[in-house]
Every structure is written in structure tokens, then in C-alpha cells.
Amino acid sequence: MAEIMVKQKIVVIGNGMVGHHFLEQLANRPERELFDVLVFCAEPRPAYDRVHLSEYFGGRTAEDLAMGKVEQYRNWGYDLRLNDSAVRVDRENKIVTSASGASEAYDHLVLATGSYPFVPPIPGHEHDKCFVYRTIEDLDKIQAAAEDGKVGVVVGGGLLGLEAANALKQLGLEAHVVEFAPGLMSVQLDEGGSKLLREKIEALGVTVHTSTATELIKEMDDGRLRMRFRGDKSLDTDLIVFSAGIRPEDSLAKSAGIELGERGGIVVDNHCRTSDKHIFAIGECALFNNFIFGLVAPGYTMARTAVSLLCGEAAEFNGADMSTKLKLLGVEVGSIGDAHGRAEGSAAITFVDEQTGVYKRMITDSAGKKLRGAVLVGDTGDYDTLLQYHLNDMDLPEHPEQLILPALDGAAPALGADALPDTATICSCHNVSKGDIVGAVQGGCCSVDEVKDCTKAATGCGGCSALLKNVVDTELAALGVEVNNDLCPHFPYTRQEIFHMVQVEQIKTFDELLHKHGSGKGCEICKPTAASIFASLWNEHIHKKPHVGLQDTNDTFMANMQKNGTYSVVPRIAGGEITPEKLIVLGQVAKKYDLYTKITGGQRIDLFGARLEELPEIWRELTDAGFETGHAYGKSLRTVKSCVGSTWCRFGVQDSVGMALAVENRYKGLRSPHKIKMAVSGCTRECAEAQSKDIGVIATENGWNLYVCGNGGMRPRHADLFATDLDDVTLIKYIDRVLMFYVRTADKLQRTSVWLENLEGGLDYLREVVIEDKLGICEELERQMGNVVGTYQCEWKTAINDPEMLKRFRQFVNTDEKDEKIVFVEERKQRRPATQEEIVKIAEPA
């Protein structure tokens, strides 16, 4: 008889980010099998990313913000109860009762109830135009109220308050921040940092009122609200969002008789256990050492501690560093350790650049040897290095001020990975130490990507990716592994370096490039790469004499070779718009040459089965009817998919077809490191699936939202929202810059998605380059794109009028016979290549 194992039951109350992390960590352990797991979630959806909540108004959907998915929980074997909150804990019988009346026994209870927003008891705060900022439902309500409004006020000038102000601004409201204290973010920033942050935020159009106490909120006759401040001042507004701090959600624990702190919070020990040893509390509801940790990273550490203990391993939570780095309304802010220098014997070093709006302050001990804290506003480039000095209690260099002074040669004095102890945390999202990374490299990982896969480092917020690369490269070098980024054996350079050489030295042919910078005779890697670079920069016809031998299979005959050596033909149908007359021509050509006809995913028509020698005739007929090449064969712009937009659709808010045509006609013919696909949707319903494209454009009431670097295919990636509410001119300008920057810097055959993931600094860096022109190259990028656009030619139209180019389009150079070995059979009333078995059968006499 098989022994039946009795599983223990874990009930988790709360499914926020920390609760989700607990469940995710548990799911990945072999001990997972020992437990039945049930989760109560008061909200209608599983955990989502509250840290990036304001992006909900920047175009990200609830789906985008989701961390836990219902299906994933099912796969993990968890019993997830959405929309059902736990209302009572019977500790004696170890039973949890829910609002829906469910009664569930537990062996272990995990309280991950989080926190709720504190609303100051100002008379009038219960008005229905007063909101809090915590859940997606809160945001939906704020959005609805903002529709007819002009002004929005946030009460609270802390980290979350400024996030909320950003949200109001994105809703198109005139945003105000009202703060009781004399400065913004007073917990994290000193006076100097706070002052600069205020200047920067006000420059962005947010009005800041500090040292301002609200005494009364009154509804006026027109339905708007008037806030009366102490000192007889007032402010009229359409809505108010309270973001004046959080309070631990401890009511359930309180009613169950679990010990709470004096000012709330469920008291836990260094095992995250409450006064009842069967009950854990993790995240913002837990009070450790009389402190609530209102950041996600310490909450994650608590979650991991609880999981380890449940699995029978030793683990402790001993508090956490509250250092933080973030971007508020686009302003970089960083705070490390004792930012105010409150400890005795502190000394400070301050750097202020009023010109560029940068404030940096280091707090050291009196000897200037150890870093106790730091404040960074306007530029957080030094944050990672400073944090490592602080967390690892490392001795500061002889001239510590160099850590925050701008380096004269342009390069910041990065902290050598050698200097870090093995215990140094590199990735705080996934708690990966330098020792873990070194271990992964010694265990056989040979690249940053492999280390990422193996350790999960830099796969959370990605803020540590530069440091990770540094550690990996240092360790590889120490092991004597040479990091080889050479294009191929013939060129000891990366694609980016070759692009630069070709551009600067105005190299026009492969022979010249090989002679100057390469060796040997070239191969199928460097030849097409060079051909693509020449085309991106000089845009000569790809079949011009010096280039003809460089092209890859499909470019060689400007058609897509299929498995039997015949070709498919794809004329451009920009935006998917086609006249009946042209559609008839396609049908006539397909019929005449007996071409298998299929609609593509990119709203075009693909004609299969053309013999090599038929291609010029087919294209003569197509170009006569006004068709142009569709570049389906090239590493270049393929299609711009569109929905029908405001012209026809009753939901459309912009002319998406018109924009798709403009975009497709602008970038057609642009050769790039890999193929590029785009789409334009006429409203947020997103029928053109723009978020799965390299460049995605989605119409808004006010213009266009631009998404970048998505793709479908083997490893799908949602495009990232890059910029919002752009006018037509700015939209094109940004696409020009993003594309040309990609063309310049990507590796060979690297799609935009992988390019972005490998771009140091990621999306923020791309924005800095493209929107803020950090590198000062935007004008040049636009000029280069202008050159490509200005020198466009339909490659097929040119080719069919050039006897020299047509020379290659002969099946045999010595006869007009056809290739008898190409055999077709009929299926569903069209031709298709015969299989090998069918060919054998046909050859045998019956």
C-alpha cells in the first residue's frame, strides 16, 4: 500500500507584490509539494506592480502591470480566491473565515495584507471627489473624475504623492502638490536636495505648496472643491488625491488578538513570525524593530525569509536598507542611508551645479573614511557605486569627493568589481550577491545573458545591469576567458565599430573595407552585414556591381526563396490599403504565372512558386500597374499594419491608415540589422496589434502614443511605451531617431527587442538619447534618415530596366530550358511543391 503523505496547508491573506513574491518563491522550490496553498485576494485581480502605478495613465494597461496571472497560479497549483477578503482568524481552531462565507483551516497563516493610505481627518475629506492612490480601481475612479476637470490637487509631497501628481499630470490636469512639511520627500532628502527637486518639478508645470496645512474642504455651488489652508489662503480644484503616507493594514490581526505596535503594525520577530508562531506577517503590514518597511525590496526579503523557514531552512530578517533610487516626473532622485547626516560626527561633501540642475551630497564619518549616506537629485549616475560603499562598509578612496564630482575626461570613476566583497548585493530585486555571480561564471556561464538566465540578476528593475556586466567581465577576465565580440574571423570588430568605420572613412565597397580593416576573403556573416551597412548609409542599389556578391539568399534575387528553390513575391501594399483595380492585377498576375496566393500577417499578399527566370516578367507587370517592391526579402522595413481608424470606425480617434501610409512610405527601403515591423492603431482598442511591433503607434485623443522594441515570433515581447500624446511631426522625428540609433548601434541580426534589452541604461537611456539628445546626435540621426528617405528607389523598377542586373535572373546561362526538377502538385485548387515521396511516385511509370 502506498503511503499517503499528509500535506500541510498554507493560507496566504493578501495578494499584493509581497504576497505574490512569497508565492512565486515557494512555487520554485521542491518543497512546494509538501503544501496545499490557498490565497485570499480582496481585489478583483491578482497582484500587480504598484510601484509603477502611475504608468497606468501613460498607456500601460492593468494587463501590463500584472505580476501574477490567474493561469500561472493555476499552473502552480494554488487555490486563488479573487474578490474575497479574509474577515476573521480563529487562532484556537486555526480557521480563516472570508467575506463570502468560506471557512478554511490552516497549518500556517501568512499575513500579507499590506497597507492602506492615510487620509488626514480634514473636514470634507469624505467628499466623492476626494480619492486615495493605491489600487487600479482608485485610478479608474480618479480618471473618471478627471474627465471634465481642469485642476487636481495631491495632498502629500512624499514619494507616493509625487507619483500621484505625475498621474494627474498625465491625465491632462493642472497638478498641485500640497505638503504640510517645509520640503518635498522630507524622509529621503535633505534641504538642498529637496529644494532642487521642487524647482525641477515646478519647471515641469506642477505647482508645489509646502508648509501648507489644509483646514477645510468645501464643495462650491458649481460642484468644484475649495481647499481652505491655514493662514486664510485657498485653492479651487476639481478633485483631490490623498497621498499623505501609509498605515499598516492590521485590523484582521488586531481582531484576532495578535500583538500590534503602539502605533499599529503587526509585530514580528527576525523570523517574520507574529506573536502566534503559526502566523507570519510580511511586507508593509509587518512591524520589525518598531519600523514599517514601506519599500518593496525589504518586503521581498521578508517573503523569502518566511518561505525558507517553511521549507525547513534557517533564515533571518534583520531589517533592510531603505536606500532608494527612482525617477519622479522624469527627475532622477536617489537617497542612501543617513541622508540627513543626523548621526553624530558626520561630515558632508556637497556638489551643486545650478546650470544643469544637479545636487549631490555625501555624508561621511568625521574621518571621511566611511560613507554613511547620500542624496542625489538630477543625476543618479553615481548611485550604484555609492550604495556599494555604504552597504559593504568599504573604505572610501583618498579623495572621496571624486565619487560625486563630474569626471573631466567624461568617464565616471566606476567602482571596480574587484573591490567589492563577495557578500555585496548586486541585484536587490532578486537578492543576487557578487558571490552568486562569480559562482555562476565559474560554473560555466560565459556571458551576461547566461548569468542573467542562471541567477535572475538584472531581470527585475534592471538598474544593476551595468554593475552586473562589470562583475561578469572582470570575473571572465580573471578566469582567462577572452570576451570575443568579433563580427567573424575576417573582422576583429563589432558591427557597431564597423558601422562607425564605414561612416567616418566613407567606405563604399566591401573590398575597400576588407583591405583596410579585415583579413581573408569574407564570409556569409561579414558580407551581408557590410552590404546592410552600405545600404543604411549610402543607399545604393543592392545589385550594383560591387554589392551583388555580398547579398544574402533573398536579397540576391529580391524575392524569398522557398524550399524547392522557387520564389515568393510580395509587392508593397502600404498600410494594407489597396484599390480594387490593383487587387485585380495581383489576381491576374497570380493566375497567369500559376502562383499560390496567400494573405500575410502583415496585411499583404504573398505570391508563391515563381521560377527565378519569371521574376523580372512578373515585376514588369506589377510595376506597370503601379506596385513597388515590398522588401519582404530584406532586413529592412516590412509592413506598417493599420486598423481602419477614425475615417470609418466609430471608435477611432485618429486617421490611423493615413499615418500608416505616411510611416510606411517614409521608411520603405531602409536597410537595418534585422527586419522591422510597424503598426498604427486608431484607438486604444489596438486592433492593429501595434504593441507587438518594433515600432507601434496608438492614437489618443491628443495625438499618438509611441511604443518601441516589441516583437512577435519565437520570443514575443510587448513594446515599451516610449512617449505619449505626440503630434505628427514629433512622432516622425522620434521614429527617425530611434530607428537610426538602432541601425547604428545594434549587433548583426539583432531585433530591436534584444537590442533594447542589451542597451545599457535600457528604455530610460533610449529616451535620454532620443528625446533629451543626451549624446548630441539627434540632428545627425535625422539627417541620415533624411538621406535614406531622399534616395529611395524601387529596387525592382530599377532592376528590370538594367540588362546587367537582369543577367542573374536566368535559370541557365546557356539555354532557355526550365529547371525540370521543380515539381508541383495541386492542393485545395492551388499549386504547392511536391514532397519527395510524391516526386518519386510521379517519376515511376504507373
Partner 1 sequence: MSEVAITRTEWLQVCKRSDLVANSGVCALVGDQQIALFFLPEQEPQLYAIDNWDPIANAGVIGRGLVAEIDGELTVASPLYKQHYRLTDGQCLEESDIKLASFPVAFDGDYVLIKIDQ
* Interface contacts to partner 1, rule CB under 8 A: 489-490, 520-524, 527-528, 545, 548-553, 556-557, 561, 563-565, 612, 807-808, 810-815, 817, 819, 821-822, 836
Helix (H, G, I), strand (E, B) or coil at 225: strand
Q: Rounded to an integer, what distance in angstroms lies between the CA atom of residue 467 and that of residue 111?
A: 35
Q: How far is the CB of 560 from partner 1 (least distance, A)?
A: 11
* Minimum distance of partner 1 from residue 558's CB (angstroms): 12
Instruction: Compute CA distances 565 → 476, 561, 606, 821, whole Å.
Output: 45, 6, 16, 10
Identify which of residues 330 and 565 has a Cβ nearer to partner 1 in the complex. 565
Smaller CB distance to partner 1: residue 110 or 526? 526
φ/ψ bin of 559: left (φ > 0), alpha (ψ from -120 to 50), beta (otherwise): beta
Report, in Å, the least distance between residue 21 CB and partner 1. 45
Q: What secondary structure, in 3-state letters, does 67-119 show?
A: CCCHHHHHHHCCEEECCCCEEEEECCCCEEEECCCCEEECCEEEECCCEEECC
Nearest to 761 by CA among 559, 461, 355: 461
In the complex, minimum distance from the CB of residue 507 to partner 1, in angstroms, rounded to a whole number: 17
Smallest separation (angstroms) from partner 1 to the CB of 613? 11
Q: Shortest Cβ distance from residue 528 to partner 1 (Å)?
A: 7
The one-letter code for the residue type at 753 is: S
SS (H, E, C) 536-603: HHCCCCCCCHHHHHHCCHHHHHCCEECCCCCEEECECCHHHCCCHHHHHHHHHHHHHCCCEEEECCCC
Nearer to partner 1, 228 or 544 (CB): 544
Closest separation in Å from C-beta 838 to partner 1: 12
Q: Cβ 713 to partner 1, closest distance in Å?
A: 19
- Rounded to a whole number of angstroms, the distance between the first and last alpha carbons of the chain is 64
Tell me the C-alpha distance between 98 and 92, whole Å: 17
**Nearest approach, Cβ of residue 792 and partner 1 (Å):** 25
- Do residues 357 and 200 touch, judged by C-beta distance below 8 A? yes
CB of 671 to partner 1, least distance (A): 17
For strand 35-40 and strand 79-81, is the pairing parallel, antiparallel, or unpaired? parallel
Min separation Cβ 544 and partner 1, Å? 12
Query: Which is closer to partner 1, CB of 490 or CB of 495?
Result: 490
User: Looking at beta carbons only, is 129 or 543 nearer to partner 1?
Assistant: 543
Task: State which residue, 628 or 795, has the beta carbon closest to partner 1.
Answer: 795
The full 3-state SS of 588-602, as one line of letters, equals: HHHHHCCCEEEECCC
- The span from the CA of 571 to the CA of 541, in Å, is 18
Considering the complex, what minimum distance in angstroms separates the CB of residue 552 from partner 1? Answer: 7
Cell 499528509, residue located? 6
We find the least distance from the C-beta atom of residue 817 to partner 1, in angstroms, to be 6
Choose between 417 and 612: whose C-beta lies nearer to partner 1: 612
With 0-12 / 13-18 / 19 or more C-beta atoms within 10 angstroms meaning exposed / middle / buried, residue 262 is exposed
Of the candidates 135, 347, 343, the residue with the CA atom closest to the CA atom of residue 241: 135
Phi, psi angle pair for 470, to nearest 5°:
-60, -50
Residue 497, amino acid = E
* CB of 521 or CB of 650, closer to partner 1: 521
Nearer to partner 1, 347 or 822 (CB): 822
Q: Compare residues 88 and 818 and give the one whose CB is closer to partner 1.
A: 818
* Secondary structure tally for the chain: helices H, strands E: 26, 39
What values do phi and psi take at 343, rounded to 5? -65, 150
CB neighbourhood size of 211 (10 A): 12
**Cβ closer to partner 1: 459 or 811?**
811
In the complex with partner 1, the residue whose CB is nearer, 513 or 732, is 513
| Burial class of residue 637 (count of CB atoms within 10 Å of its CB; 0-12, 13-18, 19+) | buried
Q: How far is the CB of 70 from partner 1 (least distance, A)?
A: 42
The DSSP bridge partners found for residue 363 are 348, 373
Q: Which conformational region is residue 304 in: left (phi greater than 0), alpha (psi within -120 to 50 degrees), or beta? A: alpha
Number of other residues whose CB lies within 10 A of the CB of residue 717? 19
Distances (CA, A) of 225 to 152, 171, 178, 573, 635: 10, 18, 15, 54, 57
Choose between 282 and 550: whose C-beta lies nearer to partner 1.
550
Burial of residue 212 (number of CB atoms within 10 Å: 0-12, 13-18, 19+): buried
Q: Which residues of 310-333 are buried (b: 16+ CB within 10 A; e: fewer)?
A: bbeeebebeebbbbbbbebbebbb
Shortest reach from residue 494's CB to partner 1, in Å: 20
Sheet (strand 279-281) strand order:
79-81, 35-40, 8-13, 108-111, 279-281
* Cβ-contact 578, 593 below 8 angstroms: no
Closer CB to partner 1, 787 or 798, in the complex = 798
Strand order in the sheet with 605-610: 560-561, 567-569, 605-610, 596-599
Closest CA to 556 of 747, 751, 805, 748: 805
Shortest Å, Cβ 530 to partner 1: 12
Q: Which residue has the cell 546557356?
A: 814
CB of 571 to partner 1, least distance (A): 22
- Residue closer to partner 1 by CB (options 318, 814) is 814
Nearer to partner 1, 314 or 813 (CB): 813
- Mention every residue, 6+ apart, whose C-beta is less than 8 A from residue 491: 498, 517, 518, 526
Least Å distance between CB 711 and partner 1? 23
CA distance 779 to 772: 12
Residue (552 or 747) nearer to partner 1, CB = 552
Q: Which is nearer to partner 1, 318 or 836 (CB)?
A: 836
